[in-house]
Amino acid sequence: MKRSPIVGTSVPRMEGRSKVTGHARYVDDMALPGMLHGATVRSRIPRGKIKRITFGPGIHWNEFVIVTPEDIPGKNCIALIEDDQPCLADGIVNHPEEPLLLLAHPDRHLLSKAVEAVSVEYEPLPAIFNIEESVAQGQIIWGADNIFKTYLIEKGDVDAAWQDAAHIVEAEYTTGAQEQLYIENNGMIAAYDPRQGLTVWGSLQCPYYVHKSLMKLFALPADRVRVVQMETGGAFGGKEEYPSMIAAHAALLAMKSGKPVKIIYDRLEDMTATTKRHPSRTRIRTAVTTDGKLLAGEIEFTIDGGAYKTLSPVVLSRGAIHAGGPYYWPNVRIHAKAVATNAPPHGAFRGFGAPQSLFALERHMDRIAHVVGVSPEEIRRRNFLRPGQTTTTGQIINEPIDLGKLLDRALELSSYHAKKETFAKENEQANPKKGVGIASFFHGAGFTGSGERFLASIVGLEACEDGSLRILVSSTEFGQGTNTVLCQIAAEALGLRYEDVSIAQPDTHEVPNSGPTVASRTVMVVGKLVQSAALGIKNTLIASGMLSDSYSPEEFRAACRAYFVKHGKCRSVVQYEQPEGVFWDEEQYRGEAYAAFAWAVYVAEVTVDLTTYSVTVDDFVALQEVGKVLHPVLAQGQIIGGVAQAIGFALYEKVIWDRGRMQNGQMTNYIMPTSADLPPIRVYFEELGNVHGAFGAKGIGELPMDGPAPAILNAVEDALNISFRSIPLLPENIFAALSERATPETVPTSPRGNA
């Protein structure tokens, strides 16, 4: 029986009803009997030795549960790549806001006063706060050289290429930290039972990351640690690694007090203490022919990792692999380095290093165009990767992607040429100035290199007593649509109705480890596994004689029920296996970096107001090739949301640092785009399919974060003829640049220090 497809249609979001009625349960909506509230005492200096901790007067300290590093049963670390980050600083602090002690009390109103009343005496040590200071090694604050990780990607003979160059174009680009700014702050509840062990419920992306770190911290076996994800109010990478810290803190207080403990961060604590996007510096030197072809490139990509290693090596890897963009480089050398500073560790954030290196490259492509004397679109067209050519890591492009055609379509959709012409004329007037800019880019889906092989994700599917199917994965929903799309995939694979499938709440006692929900891997990698697990159920039912080859959804349900009566739940469990012929050399950093790339060309139109020096994005076209769109509304939502976040990255969101501490940790003074700030964001898809993804899908969650910032700054350059190389680009930066350019009598006056 042929039914209309489910994949490719916009079915209702699985948990949508509970969200629009206010019944969805987030961690702060949950309370347990006898529950205490927990708080964290944090360092106020960037680096130093802890000399003495005093519990000040005016507080009934005997009513409080107090946890110190001595209360940690296992190893005092938050286990991730390296065990260098303590759960509670012991003797030495390495960044502001580092956790020192934990407090709990039944009345949450008393906690902030108690936190204030703890005073810490330090012997301060010299600290460093940016890439330049870290690289200079005037102070060594981590390891032997302040370096968390380096990579070298090398292709061809870069050194020989310079002599043949018609032009050598070089420049430096920088990007600032960015706060993920999910609207639900971080939070966890923990309970401890001496027999059953630990349970934590929380706002998080990766249940098994939390699980792993709690096992080590408490020296408990896997079955005595249980992690449950509650409805999660946004994450964007910001709930990838730091929730392990908060879970650890709540769990330590729960163990010591014998009562459940809830820790909910307020906005200030969430912004100042938890992770942000890595600040970056990229230096690019390129050799170019007279007609604008790239001969060679030397790219130095450096990110500021903060005080501990956490995920910086992985962020660095993705940034380095994307640094060459969707272009063909006959010769290229990419030096990548993650360095330590005395700031809270920077971490995962949508795009994961790629928005930083691609910002630099896509600004640089416009610079090359300028030097060579061709248009920005033409310089890209002449250098686009073509099928059969290789990326910087030597990965052969073996799908029929035609970036030239994608570019043409984006230019047409945005009326690029017409606008360019009109603006050139109208910009002769003094104010305002308008411009258009483009960025072309790609984003690799799934873990880098051998990452997916090491993860070896497991996915389960079970047929329940009532004949419905339930998906068992640790992949989490935090707005992207994980629940919906995975259920669509299972229903489609089996010819069932969408309503016949549900998905289990991620709970490490219930679901296998399908890997972390990161790296645009869920639909592509986990979805593919759901698809094959679904076929496993069908095959079992057919083999048992309870289902025929062709069946209706009702017959399938009946077969599941019959199977249940005879054998119990019909279950199918599958594990990821790397496709044959995929090659990755971790030592040389060569080979197939990603199973699939999504490709995109974005066009931004801006107005620069020379009275306020503000930039407004007036129109935004986002065109991308994504394999296959499984759910049009969700896919559009991912792209629009990502573009909006990237407009913030480019034009609004500046973290003000003072000695390693964020000074503007409030929504009042850290400015994200509101509904009144954004242009129409027009989204278009192309679909080439993808053999590695469920029903041909590629990952798309991170892609839209990569392109908008360079497209916008390229448009600003088009408007003003000034090349800005740093983001965020704020009105004061534009004012400064225009003042520098203007002759004294035309220097505009402006109220200063008011932005």
Partner 1 sequence: MTASSQERAQCEISFTVNGKSHTVRVYPMERLLDVLRHDLELTGTKEGCGEGECGSCSVLLDGVLVNSCLIPVLQANGSEILTIEGLASDGRLQVLQQSFLDCGGAQCGICTPGMILASVHLLNKKPRPTLEEVREALSGNLCRCTGYMQIFEAVADAARRGAAT
Residues that bind partner 1 (CB under 8 A): 10, 12-13, 15-26, 28-29, 180-185, 231-236, 266-267, 478-481, 633-634, 636-637, 640-645, 666-668, 672-676, 678, 680-681
Q: Which amino acid belongs to residue 269?
A: E
Token digits of residue 427: 């910009």
| 15 or 402: CB nearest partner 1 | 15
Give me the least distance between CB of 649 and partner 1, in Å please: 12
Residue 482 beta carbon to partner 1: minimum distance, rounded to whole angstroms: 11
Nearer to partner 1, 31 or 160 (CB): 31
And the tokens for 361? 């490259």
State in angstroms the smallest separation of the CB of 113 from partner 1: 12
Least Å distance between CB 28 and partner 1?
A: 7
For residues 634 and 713, which CB has a smaller minimum distance to partner 1 in the complex?
634
CB 560 within 8 Å of CB 552: no
The alpha-helical segments, DSSP class H, found in 258-353 are 267-273, 312-322
Residue 201 or 236 having the CB closest to partner 1:
236
Residue with Cβ nearer partner 1 (122 or 498):
498
Cβ pair 219, 74 in contact under 8 A: yes
Measured CA to CA, the distance from residue 228 to residue 221 in angstroms comes to: 17
Judged by CB, which is closer to partner 1: 17, or 405?
Answer: 17
- Cβ closest to partner 1, residue 39 vs residue 360: 39
| Distance from C-alpha of 461 to C-alpha of 604, rounded to nearest angstrom | 44
Coil vs helix vs strand at 3: coil
- Decide whether 467 or 479 has the Cβ nearer to partner 1: 479
Give the residue with the Cβ less far from partner 1, 158 or 348.
348
Residue 111: CB minimum distance to partner 1, A:
14
- Angle, to 10 degrees, between the axis of helix 708-720 and the axis of helix 416-426? 40
Residue burial 345-377, b: 16+ Cβ < 10 Å; e: rest: bbbbbbbbbbbbbbbbbbbbbbbbbbbbebbbb
- Residue 144, exposed/middle/buried by CB under 10 A (0-12, 13-18, 19+)? exposed
Report in angstroms how near the CB of residue 681 gets to partner 1 at its nearest.
6
737: which residues sit within 8 A by CB, 6+ positions away? 720, 722, 724
Side chain identity at residue 733, one-letter code:
N
Whether the CB-CB separation of 55 and 61 falls below 8 Å is answered with: yes
Nearest CA among 460, 466, 508, 445 for reference residue 703: 445
- Give the nearest distance from C-beta 43 to partner 1 in angstroms: 23
Nearer of residues 166 and 667 to partner 1, judged by Cβ: 667
How far is Cα of residue 74 from the mean position of the Cα atoms in its chain?
Answer: 30
Specify the 3-state DSSP secondary structure of 203: coil
**Residue 489: CB minimum distance to partner 1, A:** 19
Nearest distance from C-beta of residue 344 to partner 1, angstroms: 20
Looking only at the bridges linking them, the beta strands covering 584-585 and 590-591 are: antiparallel
The encoded tokens of residue 753 equal 């220090």
Cβ of residue 240: shortest distance to partner 1, in angstroms?
A: 15
